[in-house]
């Protein structure tokens, strides 16, 4: 089992396993064929309010992660997180994001939680 984070704009690789788009909005300029996304659980993504808060005035990543984890504890998100955890238990999962800094994004929070 492995959980990877990749930018959705990178060329898909065979070792990606289940490719899960973890952004609420579809990536600009990318066709669905080129993205090769297997799953798109929108309910697992940060709320619009949290995304706007984080991107305003370079907010703290640690505070963003804390708030996002609280959102992930809500029933719908928790159920989706467990679904992705089940996929990871069976094989490789790649979390896809359009973020230019995936290591400082919600994808990193998800990868950490899935690895616990």
% the chain with pLDDT above 90? 86
Do 39 and 20 contact (CB within 8 A), yes or no? yes
pTM above 0.75, yes or no: yes
SS3 77: helix
Residue ranges covered by each domain of the chain: 3-115
Joined together, the tokens standing for residue 46 give 């940060």
pLDDT at position 21 over 90: yes
Name the residue among 85, 70, 74, 78 with its Cα closest to residue 39: 85
* 77 closest CA partner among 99, 33, 110, 101: 110
pLDDT, tens digit, 9 for 90 and up, residues 51-78: 999 888 777 899 999 999 999 999 999 9
């Amino acid at each position: 089992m492995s959980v990877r984070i990749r930018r959705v704009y990178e060329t898909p690789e065979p070792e990606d396993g289940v490719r899960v788009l973890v952004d609420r909005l579809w990536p600009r300029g990318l066709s669905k064929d080129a993205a090769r996304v297997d799953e798109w659980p929108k309910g697992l993504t940060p709320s619009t309010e949290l995304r706007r808060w984080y991107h305003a005035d370079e907010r703290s990543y640690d505070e963003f992660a804390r708030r996002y984890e609280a959102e992930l504890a809500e029933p719908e998100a928790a159920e989706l997180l467990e679904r992705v955890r089940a996929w990871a238990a069976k094989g490789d999962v790649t979390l896809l994001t359009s973020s230019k800094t995936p290591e400082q994004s919600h994808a990193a929070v998800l990868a950490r939680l899935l690895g616990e």
